[in-house]
């Protein structure tokens, strides 16, 4: 199947409709397997990879970035073919300025990511969360410095509210700075709160939306079937399944009726949403990656989209119409 591409928000940057998430690289997936998955992703035409300096979950180590860096170092055009996105915000140490988005931490965090990734620039540098205590004059001045030094090409956000996006963009506009080109949000059939204000803000300001957890932590990936096969045996997972069993039964029946895997239906639904650039897929194995790409072939009719809305209702559209006349 041919990979599809789109521009990242209002930028001229072309990215694949799926973004390869790397959070499993290290803790769950071995380095050798991680390298194989990244190679396979390029073979499939996926050119957009997402990571974060804290992935690997060893304080200050940046294990996942290191794995990617050693993959880049193999050469063969790996770095040149890849649009690499990473993030800063969370703790990289116990010292006072080793987290958040102060100018000092932005500088140190970027230098650390560049070293671990074995590259001299980051394509998309994202704030992993909003830091309300940091003035935008400070944040954008620090990002402009990185941009002017050629260390980052684009700036992105993650887990911002709609008004945070508006404030960030208006402050960037005052500085004649491009500001944000993307927002990475929790978005899936089950979690649709962002439709109220985040998605409208992104569309108005020209930000590409990069949904994380597109399968709702596996709930939308055929959870009932997998539970019956013993693949979802953990108590917490079982409790979540039971809490949503009526919806899941209708959902998985609908997927069966249209002869599509539940995971691929959930991903295809996101691809049908006008604000979405590329859902983040986080395969643990080569097989999972190959299976995920079948979602590109799933075309959802208007009737099916309406049925999905009935099973997994959103907030009612954009605010304020969602709750007012």
Check 55, 125, 147, 251 and give the catalytic one: 55
| Burial bucket for residue 153 (CB in 10 Å: 0-12, 13-18, 19+) | middle
Report the alpha-carbon distance of residue 227 to residue 238 in Å, rounded. Answer: 8
Q: In the prediction, which pLDDT does 227 show?
A: 72
Report the alpha-carbon distance of residue 173 to residue 314 in Å, rounded. Answer: 32
Nearest to 80 by CA among 42, 112, 106, 132: 42
Domain tally, the chain: 1
Q: In the prediction, which pLDDT does 307 show?
A: 98
Question: Does the residue 234 lie in any domain?
Answer: no
- Beta strands 19-21; 280-281: pairing state: parallel
Question: Does the residue 165 lie in any domain?
Answer: yes
**Per-residue model confidence as pLDDT tens digits over 37-60:** 999 999 999 999 999 999 999 999
Question: Does the residue 114 lie in any domain?
Answer: yes
Question: Does the residue 67 lie in any domain?
Answer: yes
What residue numbers bound the domain in which 157 lies?
5-217+262-302
Question: Does the residue 132 lie in any domain?
Answer: yes
Question: Does the residue 93 lie in any domain?
Answer: yes
Q: In the prediction, which pLDDT does 228 show?
A: 65
Tell me the percentage of the chain whose pLDDT exceeds 70. Answer: 97
**Per-residue model confidence as pLDDT tens digits over 150-190:** 999 999 999 999 999 999 999 999 999 999 999 999 999 99
Question: Does the residue 225 lie in any domain?
Answer: no
Question: Does the residue 167 lie in any domain?
Answer: yes
- Beta strands 14-16; 5-7: pairing state: antiparallel
Q: In the prediction, which pLDDT does 238 show?
A: 84
3-state secondary structure the chain: CCCCEEECCCCCCEEECCEEECCCECCCECHHHHHHHHHHHHHCCCCEEECCCCCCCCCCCCHHHHHHHHHHCCCCCHHHHCEEEEEECCCCCCCCCCCCCCHHHHHHHHHHHHHHHCCCCEEEEEECCCCCCCCHHHHHHHHHHHHHCCCEEEEEEECCCHHHHHHHHHHHHHCCCCCEEEEEEECCCCCCHHHCCHHHHHHHHCCEEEEECCCCCCCCCCHHHHHHCCCCCCHHHHHHHHHCHHHHHHHHHHHHHCCCCHHHHHHHHHHCCCCECCCEECCCCHHHHHHHHHHHHCCCCHHHHHHHHHHCCCCCCCCCCCCCC
Taking the CA atoms of 208, 209, 212 and 214 in sequence, report the sign of the dihedral they define.
negative
Within 10 angstroms of residue 218's Cβ, the number of other Cβ atoms is: 16
The one-digit pLDDT tens for each residue of the chain (325 residues) are 789 999 999 999 999 999 999 999 999 999 999 999 999 999 999 999 999 999 999 999 999 999 999 999 999 999 999 999 999 999 999 999 999 999 999 999 999 999 999 999 999 999 999 999 999 999 999 999 999 999 999 999 999 999 999 999 999 999 999 999 999 999 999 999 999 999 999 999 999 999 999 999 999 999 998 876 655 556 667 888 999 999 999 999 999 999 999 999 999 999 999 999 999 999 999 999 999 999 999 999 999 999 999 999 999 999 999 999 9
Which CATH number fits the domain that encloses residue 152?
A: 3.20.20.100
State yes or no: is 55 an active-site residue. yes
Q: In the prediction, which pLDDT does 226 show?
A: 80
């Amino acid at each position: 199947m041919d990979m599809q591409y789109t521009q990242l928000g209002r930028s001229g940057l072309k990215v694949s409709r799926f973004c390869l998430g790397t959070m499993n690289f290290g803790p769950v997936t071995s380095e050798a397997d991680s390298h194989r998955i990244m190679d396979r992703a390029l073979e499939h035409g996926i050119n957009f990879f997402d990571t974060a300096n804290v992935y690997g979950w060893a304080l200050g180590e940046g294990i996942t970035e290191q794995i990617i860096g050693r993959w880049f170092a193999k050469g063969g055009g790996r770095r040149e073919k890849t649009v690499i996105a990473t993030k800063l915000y969370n703790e990289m140490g116990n010292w006072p300025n080793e987290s958040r988005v102060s100018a000092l931490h932005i500088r140190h965090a970027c230098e650390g990511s560049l070293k671990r990734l074995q590259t001299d620039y980051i394509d998309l540098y994202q704030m992993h969360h909003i830091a309300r205590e940091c003035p935008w004059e400070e944040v954008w001045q620090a990002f402009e410095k990185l941009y002017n030094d050629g260390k980052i090409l684009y700036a992105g956000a993650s887990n911002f509210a709609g008004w945070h996006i508006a404030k960030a963009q208006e402050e960037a506009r005052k500085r004649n700075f491009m500001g944000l080109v993307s927002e990475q949000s929790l978005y899936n059939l089950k979690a649709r709160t962002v439709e109220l204000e985040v998605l409208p803000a992104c569309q108005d300001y020209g930000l590409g939306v990069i949904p994380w957890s597109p399968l709702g932590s596996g709930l939308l990936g055929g959870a009932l079937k997998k539970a019956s096969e013993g693949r979802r045996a953990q108590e917490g997972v079982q409790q979540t399944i039971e809490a949503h069993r009526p919806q899941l039964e209708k959902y998985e029946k609908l997927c069966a009726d249209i002869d599509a895997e539940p995971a691929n239906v959930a991903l295809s639904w996101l691809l049908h949403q006008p604000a979405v650039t590329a859902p983040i897929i986080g395969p643990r194995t080569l097989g999972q990656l190959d299976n995920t790409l079948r979602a590109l072939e799933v075309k959802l009719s208007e009737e099916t989209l309406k049925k999905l809305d009935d099973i997994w209702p959103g907030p009612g559209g954009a605010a304020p119409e969602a709750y007012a006349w």
